[in-house]
Amino acid sequence: MLTDVAHRDMAARGPRAGAGQSLIGGAWRRRFASVALALVALCCLVLTTAAQAATVNNLRLWSAPDHVRLVFDLSGPARANVFTLDNPRRVVIDLDSTKLDVDIDKLDLDASAIDKVRTGVRESGGLRVVLDVNRAVVPKSFTLPPNEQYSDRLVVDLDYPGASAVADPIDPIEAMIRDQEIAAQRAQKEAVAEGKPEQADAVAATVEAQPHPKRDIIIAVDPGHGGEDPGATGPHGTREKDVVLGIARKLKQRFDQTPGFKAFMTRDGDYYVGLRQRTLLARQQKADFFVSIHADAVRSRQPSGSSVYALSQGGATSETARWLAASENQSDLIGGVDGNLSLDDKDEVLRGVLLDLTMTATMNDSLATGGQVLDKLGRINKLHKSKVEQAGFVVLKSPDIPSLLVETGFISNPKEEAELRSPRHQAELAQAIYAGIVAHFRQHPPPASLLAWQRDQGRGSASNEYRVRAGDTLSQVAAGHGISMRALKQANGLDSDILRVGQVLTIP
Ligand SMILES: [Zn+2]
């Protein structure tokens, strides 16, 4: 479709050289423009004889919190030039020897930085696409050759500088508390590894002398696939990326409703996030736990049921080697942004020992939590595998964050495909995964967490009793014991939510 591409856009010449361009005077600019135009014309002349004309058959758009991706499906290879212009802000995409055969008005621009898409034919015969944008963007583009699913493609990513990749990032105060906890754990671990137990005890004593932070346990909820990666597809066309997003959103909601927990999503929309990027996001958000949600598919329609995966020993060993070998990690930190373990100032042997210890502890935690999740899933769904499976999936490879991958069911099984679409079944699956993870953290709360504080307050009384302390709320006590408020009130004959300090509650 032809629209109002301004002529001055047509004379534009490649990526802007930042503020430098404004220093060029009017006469210079005109001369520069005409020379550039001549060059462009020359290039195109060469190209049109060399390359065949391509057609844009389809345009796809994926909107993420920190970028928008535009994919041009092309009938053949095409060369592109992408650059930005100011006043008003826009991105220009020039495609040599290319025609447009798609209704761009059908593109859903909602939630993206793009307000409007205009197209025109360049004087040299190529296609010009102009994106009017409402914020600063940094364009990146690359071309992809055809594969089984798609033809030639041009991918244009517009990154939003300074924007968070997580829609609902962790509160800075929680992050600060978490930093302090990580620093203390790191100091303790290093003291133990260096054979100085009295130093480790001193760190522990300092931490205990401080007021209890009662921080939230942070859960990274990771819906698999997204954007141009649909994941598996069911016999009736159900896409894995859609059902796992539904389950993940319900899972996040369950955690956010629970005092002492806070969840965030590595992907909260239909866009692609790289596998390493997912674990990086978990690290940046200082996650205590990472859970990836998927749906299985096989050629046969018969198999059904849920499975749970943790990292395999082989995967862990190779990942430890990767972390130790990769130069990008030499000065990197493991565990949260500031890390449980700072490796850059340690000799190689000690680095290996520390990383191994962390990886082993992480794997043990993952397996234990996996067992709890499997147990809860088994109550609502058939289990495909009756124990936690182990594999070398990339998303499970954080050395310091216990991680699980849940295959919720077989999308290739028509009956399970229908169930996976059902919001009720999605909620049941989310509830089972939630309950398994909460059960694990209730038994093993991180030291600075609200759950640890609640457990310590309850110490010294009979195991099924809890003595109310100042600041307790009914919902906190219920969550701390993994029961509903209703059950707690019923067991104690309470008809209001008000608690007295010193009151002893029976835990049903
Ligand atoms: Zn998957």
* Max avg pLDDT among 42-51, 417-426, 483-492: 417-426
The Å distance, Cα 418 to ligand 1 centre, comes to: 17
Kindly indicate the confidence band of residue 345, based on its pLDDT and cuts at 50, 70 and 90.
low
For the sheet with 80-85, list strands across it: 80-85, 90-95, 127-133, 114-121
The Å distance, Cα 225 to ligand 1 centre, comes to: 6
- One-letter amino acid for residue 51 of the chain: A
The Å distance, Cα 396 to ligand 1 centre, comes to: 13
Ion ligand 1: residues, Cβ under 5 Å: 224, 231, 294
Question: What ranges in 151-306 are assigned the alpha helix state H?
Answer: 172-193, 197-209, 240-256, 275-284
The Å distance, Cα 231 to ligand 1 centre, comes to: 5
The Å distance, Cα 368 to ligand 1 centre, comes to: 22
The Å distance, Cα 230 to ligand 1 centre, comes to: 9
Average pLDDT over residues 68-75: 95
Say if residues 70 and 38 touch (Cβ distance below 8 Å).
no
The Å distance, Cα 291 to ligand 1 centre, comes to: 13
- Give tens-digit pLDDT for 126-185: 999 999 999 999 999 999 999 888 899 999 999 999 999 998 888 888 888 887 887 777
| DSSP 8-state class, residue 362 | H
Report pLDDT for 88.
Answer: 94
Element holding 153 (H helix, E strand) = strand 152-159
Report pLDDT for 333.
Answer: 41
For residue 416, the tally of other CB atoms under 10 A from its CB is: 26
Say if residues 203 and 188 touch (Cβ distance below 8 Å).
yes
Q: Is residue 465's pLDDT more than 80?
A: no
Kindly indicate the confidence band of residue 10, based on its pLDDT and cuts at 50, 70 and 90.
very low
The Å distance, Cα 253 to ligand 1 centre, comes to: 21
Name residue, tokens 């796992």. 244
Report pLDDT for 463.
Answer: 57
Average pLDDT over residues 337-343: 43
The Å distance, Cα 244 to ligand 1 centre, comes to: 9
* Max avg pLDDT among 38-42, 201-205, 281-285: 281-285
Q: Is residue 35's pLDDT more than 60?
A: no
What is the rounded distance in angstroms from the CA atom of residue 282 to the CA atom of residue 263?
A: 10
The Å distance, Cα 412 to ligand 1 centre, comes to: 12
Q: How far is CA 171 from CA 105, 166, 182, 207, 291, in A?
A: 39, 12, 16, 22, 20
Report pLDDT for 2.
Answer: 31
Say if residues 398 and 282 touch (Cβ distance below 8 Å).
yes
What is the rounded distance in angstroms from the CA atom of residue 35 to the CA atom of residue 44?
A: 14
Q: Is residue 405's pLDDT more than 90?
A: yes
What is the rounded distance in angstroms from the CA atom of residue 394 to the CA atom of residue 221?
A: 15
The Å distance, Cα 136 to ligand 1 centre, comes to: 34
Kindly indicate the confidence band of residue 87, based on its pLDDT and cuts at 50, 70 and 90.
very high
The Å distance, Cα 95 to ligand 1 centre, comes to: 34
